[in-house]
Copies of this chain bind each other. A is one copy, B any other.
Amino acid sequence: MSIAIEEARAAGARGEVPVGCVVVRDGTIVARAGNRTIADHDPTAHAELIAIRAAASTLGSERLTDCDLYVTLEPCAMCAAAMSFARIRRLYFGAADAKGGAVEHGVCFFAAPTCHHRPEVYGGINESECGELLKSFFQARR
């Protein structure tokens, strides 16, 4: 998670919402990314989606069966569904997101009957540090 936090800091320094993500397999980092929606003019360029795409490309498979994903913020519906399609094994996330989250909030995607693969989920990892990054980013923008 400390590397996901590094990615989040780097994203914030670029003026992006500070969220970072790492995909790990067998103790090795397969992909790491921060948000890039503004830089890439890409509404889908959340840290998780970029990292999942990069990991799948690196591993040459659309299924990341033995991979775990670390992200500093509770994933949205887009990213949660992408994790399900990618067969992510375990999801570790930092701060909860009552406004846009889709794991413990909103549509609670992994609990839906139309979700056909559910990772094991561990929330609240380095929660205060992950949340503080977001809080200070949005405070500075006001």
Give complex CA distance A127, B129 in Å.
49
Give complex CA distance A86, B49 in Å.
15
Contact A112 B116, beta carbon cutoff 8 Å: no
* This chain's copy number in the assembly: 2
For A79, the chain B residues whose CB sits under 8 A away are 78
Q: What is the 8 Å Cβ interface bit string for chain A, positions 71-111, against chain B (1 contact, 0 not)?
A: 00000111111100111000000000001111001111100
For A53, the chain B residues whose CB sits under 8 A away are 42, 44
A60 at the interface (CB under 8 A from B): yes
Q: What is the 8 Å Cβ interface bit string for chain A, positions 60-74, against chain B (1 contact, 0 not)?
A: 111110000000000
A139 at the interface (CB under 8 A from B): no
Contact B77 A107, beta carbon cutoff 8 Å: yes
